[in-house]
Amino acid sequence: MARKAASSVNGPPSPPAHGESKPVTVPDFMAAKARGVRLTMLTAYDCGMARLLDAAGVDALLVGDSLGMVVQGFEHCLSVTLDEVIYHTKMVVRGASRSLVVADMPFMSYQVSPQQALTSAGRLIKEGGAHAVKLEGGERSAAAVAAICQADIPVMGHVGLTPQSIRRLGGFRVQRHEEQVIHDAVAIEQAGAFAIVVECVPTALAEKVTKAVKVPTIGIGAGAGCDGQILVIHDMLGLSDLHPRFVKQYADLGKAMMDAVRSYCREVKDGSFPGPEHGFH
């Protein structure tokens, strides 16, 4: 999907009450921190949801490897493939006219070598249409980040809890190693990342990370001290069975959907749907 003319580097443009605004670019995203503008980010996995989130004014949409859990029904994200992320990214890009679309680099699509990382990132941009990519890891991923950035592909980093490391971590656990988390964030920034997701670390540590780097930090389970926030859309809309402590549920669409479907089933069975007004004459 072609992007419209670049917007000014004064932070993400605000969505107007009616119609489209200029698209959020990587320079916009980076400039927001200096201006004190907080960034909004949500996951999206298909065109319809992307269109709604884009129209609502979300600054960035992440095609996360979390799709392994909330879309595919697995207990973790390790089975998600690069082709699957490309497939979902294509749909999200078609639904987004303003939001910056970031595609996750799934497990084993960048860990082998910087060259593999560059090839995978290139596919997400060229085939998927993503505007940027995201990968996990701090210092250990710095060479991969640098290689991708040198090809003019924007990279968002990810430190703290890295879900692709759950086998080593023993599960989804809060990361409290202050020196390591800060060191990882600085290493990723120096490698060229334009923003960094900070996941599941104590609030005070997230604030220190945010002060230690010049690029925006996007928190999830990291308190209010980051430059922006991200949530999994299924969690915040009540469409998931998972209830992480750090999630605020803004709506219970799961219950609303169940009620609607039950009403449909009841009316079909008792013959009240379809009515005369639903037919053709």
Dist CA 252 CA 234 (whole Å): 10
Dist CA 147 CA 110 (whole Å): 11
* 49: nearest Cα among 65, 71, 69, 28: 71
- For 43, 80, 119, 174, the CA distances from 95, given in Å and listed in that order, are 13, 22, 25, 34
Dist CA 192 CA 218 (whole Å): 16
- The residue to which tokens 């009515």 are assigned: 275
Beta strands in the chain (DSSP E): 39-43, 60-63, 100-104, 132-134, 155-160, 195-199, 217-220, 228-231
127 is catalytic: no
Dist CA 249 CA 256 (whole Å): 14
Largest Cα separation within the chain, whole Å, is: 73
The two structure tokens encoding residue 159: 């430190």
Q: Which of 84, 136, 199, 207 is catalytic?
A: 199
Contact 92, 104 (CB under 8 A): no
Q: Which residues are catalytic?
A: 199
